[in-house]
Amino acid sequence: MAAKPKLHYFNARGRMECIRWLLAAAGEEFEEQFIESPQDLEKLKNDGSLLFQQVPMVEIDGMKLAQTRAILNYIASKHNLYGKDLKERALIDMYSEGIADLSEMILQLPLCPPNERGAKLALIKEKATGRYLPVFEKVLKSHGQDYLVGNKLSKADIHLVELLYYLDEIDSSLLASFALLKALKTRVSNLPNVQKFLQPGSQRKPPLDEKTLEKAKKIFNIK
Ligand SMILES: N[C@@H](CCC(=O)N[C@@H](CS)C(=O)NCC(=O)O)C(=O)O
């Protein structure tokens, strides 16, 4: 039996959480090797495991993959979550990049100085409801299908639903006027693999707390 993928990252969401989501939704079990200290990260860097001296790094199918999007694209291709042709793939890429742009703003929020956090949060909400969510609601409305692309689950649906959970944590009213997105969230959440991942005790990570943030800053030398 092939070894399970091994995920190398800090024990928090960060840039690895979308990879955890995608593997879980694809039904591919994985192991995690948590980086607990700056020394752990140094060791990975020194033994040549990190292409650009950065994590996420995923050991999978005999490779050591770096770069979040490359890792996601490999997993999606492997599990047939990346469209049936070039045009579907282009749509999936466009949607995934839009989702990544808003997700990046959410990811960076805890690193924001406290006096700027309110404004950053307001901007995230404004971009969510004014720019990104209307696009995806419109896509679903335009074809009336269950999933964003090709009437079939793709990585774009999984990334979007992960994002919808984060937006819900920020402000549960943000999704109020997006009926089709709420339905997509429910539909994807009810897929058996995703349902399992959403259960307590899964490898899904909670929101970042202050203590974990401080630990992450030390490991990744963030000032
Ligand atoms: N473009 C890269 C960025 C990776 C990245 O910034 N990783 C951070 C942790 S989230 C890191 O390893 N920082 C340590 C360093 O750059 O030395 C990706 O998406 O994988």
- 1 — pLDDT class (breaks 50, 70, 90): low
Structure tokens at 193: 């693999």
Predicted local distance difference test score (pLDDT) of residue 129: 98
Indicate the average pLDDT of the chain: 97
Closest atom of ligand 1 relative to the 53 alpha carbon = 17
The dihedral formed by the CA atoms of 170, 103, 56 and 69, expressed in degrees to the nearest 10: 150
Structure tokens at 126: 């404004």
Predicted local distance difference test score (pLDDT) of residue 65: 98
Classified as helix, coil or strand, 145 is coil
Q: Which has the closest alpha carbon to 188: 221, 154, 217, 213?
A: 154
Taking the centre of ligand 1 as the mean of its atom positions, its distance from the CA of residue 31, in whole angstroms, is 20
Predicted local distance difference test score (pLDDT) of residue 223: 83
Predicted local distance difference test score (pLDDT) of residue 2: 79
Q: Is the CB of 108 under 6 A from ligand 1?
A: no
pLDDT greater than 70 at residue 42: yes
Predicted local distance difference test score (pLDDT) of residue 51: 97
Q: Is the CB of 54 under 6 A from ligand 1?
A: yes
CB 197 within 8 A of CB 204: yes
> What average pLDDT does range 133-150 have in this prediction?
98
CA-to-CA distance for 102 and 95, rounded, in angstroms? 11
Predicted local distance difference test score (pLDDT) of residue 5: 98
Q: Is the CB of 220 under 6 A from ligand 1?
A: yes
- pTM of the full predicted structure? 0.98
For the chain, which domains are there? 6-79+197-220 (3.40.30.10), 86-189 (1.20.1050.10)
pLDDT greater than 90 at residue 30: yes
> What average pLDDT does range 54-64 have in this prediction?
98
* 93-106 pLDDT per residue, tens: 999 999 999 999 99
CA-to-CA distance for 44 and 62, rounded, in angstroms? 17
* 181-217 pLDDT per residue, tens: 999 999 999 999 999 999 999 999 999 999 999 999 9
Q: Is the CB of 15 under 6 A from ligand 1?
A: yes
